[in-house]
Homo-oligomer: A and B are copies of this chain.
Amino acid sequence: MEGCKMMEQLNDGQKREWEKQWEVLSYGVSSIIPEEEFKEKIAKSIKNEQPLKVKLGLDPTAPDVHLGHTVVLNKLKQFQEFGHTVQLIIGDFTGKIGDPTGKSIARTALTDEEVEHNAKTYFEQFGKVIDMEKVELHYNSKWLSKVGFSEVLKLASTVTVARMLERNDFHNRYEANKPIHLHEFFYPVMQGYDSYALDSDIELGGTDQEFNVLFGRQVQEHYGREKQVVLLMPLIEGLDGVEKMSKSKGNYIGVDERPQDIFGKTMSIPDALITKYFELVSPLSIQEVQEVKRKLDEGTLHPRDAKMKLAASFVEMLHGKEAARQSREQFINVFQKKAMPDEIPEVMWEGEEEIHVVDLVKELGLLPSKSEGRRMIKNGGVRIDQEKVTDTNQTVQVTDGVVVQVGKRKFVRLRSSS
């Protein structure tokens, strides 16, 4: 708490509130720039009962939200839960310009309707994580379209060309002799201007956004305003466990996907990512996540079961409790299907085409008696083509290739000439 002057003015209740906010809001953040200013801003907000303005900028050209975005959305949600104000900014100003070089098909100029539609898509998808009722929505064309050439020149004068070329992607392109068109240098400038226009206290972004997000501080300072604090969130690896989750890499879980797909994809992540996904992507509380981590460390929780919990939490967040339950069950079925041995003994079936399951199981010698068969069915231990048999009187239509399973390890595939 050194250097945090406002903190000294808080009473005991306010100090406890500060500790609570600091614990949650700083949790899982990759870097807070600068940390001292963030502490001070929280204290000031508590002291003055003035919510912080927490900004997130959105590119209106790519409204497909996936769980990689959830890292930032979860952080916004935490801010909301402490009563702070989320400012979502749709970057429609540049979106409507598109790519003036005309070289990128992906960046054709958007119409008002397209921007509106994309924004709506964002909001629907974001609504699965944050409370959209409490969010401030802004379109940056509102202020950027009024900025004149002389203002642009003054803003441009606050940065050097060398500084711009230090930005990772610019640097790499410049070194590789790939063209950087001059207008691209203005994307950070505009993003920074948005922070000035909205007097943002905090801006969130991925660690790959550091340059652009920090630029807001420069612009606010240029206009003599209080500088925003930057919270950089870690980038989350995709399903492959290697590359950043992104739509173009195909290693993502979209928030609009079907429950069973979300569940199944989550089950496919490498074990090494489990705790990171719990911490950053899942909606579980810090305490719940700590417990999962502890159990994994102790070895009292199997990684597969941890992933099931994780997957269920995602489905619940995006589709509700019931969908989570169902997709979990469905996955277990599929999982067991996968657990079926590759080599299943085959039996040529010469008997009746329709037969009671208890008779079939006995005839195949999978169980010694019909009564044993009935007991097994009651325990849910008999399956025909993965489907659990629930009725002891059930019959089965024997077709070529049907698989009969008893317990976890006994399988027979029936062959039939009919």
Interface residues of A (CB under 8 A from B): 93-94, 96-97, 99-101, 144-154, 156-162, 164-165, 170, 174, 177, 179-183, 185-186, 189-190
Please report the C-alpha to C-alpha distance between residue A182 and residue B186 in the assembled complex, in whole angstroms: 10
**Residues of chain B lying within 8 A (CB to CB) of residue A152:** 149, 152, 183, 186
A234 CB, min distance to chain B CBs, angstroms: 30
Chain A at the B interface: SS class: helix
| Chain B CB within 10 Å, residue with most, of A96, A97, A152 | A152
**Nearest CB on B from A208, distance (A):** 20
Partner of A161, one of B96, B159, B174: B174
Do A156 and B181 touch (CB < 8 A)?
A: yes
Contact B180 A93 (CB under 8 A): no
Q: Are A160 and B147 in contact (CB under 8 A)?
A: no
A52 to B220, CA, bound (A): 48
Do B150 and A179 touch across chains, with their CB atoms under 8 A apart?
A: no
Cβ B160 vs Cβ A179 within 8 A: yes
Whether the Cβ atoms of B150 and A97 lie closer than 8 Å is yes
Find out whether the CB atom of B144 lies under 8 angstroms from the CB atom of A162.
Answer: no
Distance of A143 from chain B, by nearest CB (Å): 10
Q: How far is the CA of A179 from the CA of B96 in the complex (A)?
A: 32
Q: Could you say which residues of chain B place their CB within 8 Å of the CB of A161?
A: 161, 164-165, 170, 174, 180-182, 185
Q: Shortest beta-carbon distance, A171 to chain B, in Å? A: 11
| A100, A149, A153, A179: residue with the most chain B Cβ atoms closer than 10 Å | A149
New A-B contacts (6) at CB < 8 Å, excluding given A100-B153, A160-B181:
A100-B154, A145-B150, A149-B152, A156-B182, A157-B181, A160-B180
Contacts of A174 in B (CB 8 A): 161-162
Smallest CB separation, A141 vs chain B (Å): 9
3 shortest interchain CB distances as A-B pairs: A100-B157, A156-B183, A156-B182
From known contacts A100-B154, A153-B100, infer whether A160 and B182 are also in contact, taking CB-CB under 8 Å: yes
Given the known A-B contacts A145-B148, A148-B148, A161-B161, are A154 and B183 also in contact in the complex, defined by CB atoms under 8 Å?
yes
B-chain residues with CB within 8 Å of residue A146 when the two chains form the complex: 148
Give, as a whole number of angstroms, the nearest-CB distance from A291 to chain B.
Answer: 51
Q: Contact at A186–B148, with CB atoms within 8 Å?
A: no
B contact residues around A189 at 8 Å (CB) = 182
CA distance A170 to B156 in the complex (A): 16
Contacts of A162 in B (CB 8 A): 174, 177, 179-180
Q: Which of B93, B154, B170 contacts A150 (CB 8 A)?
A: B93
Least CB distance from A179 to B in Å reads 4
Docked-complex contact A182 and B159, CB < 8 angstroms: yes
Residues of B within 8 A of A99 (CB): 157
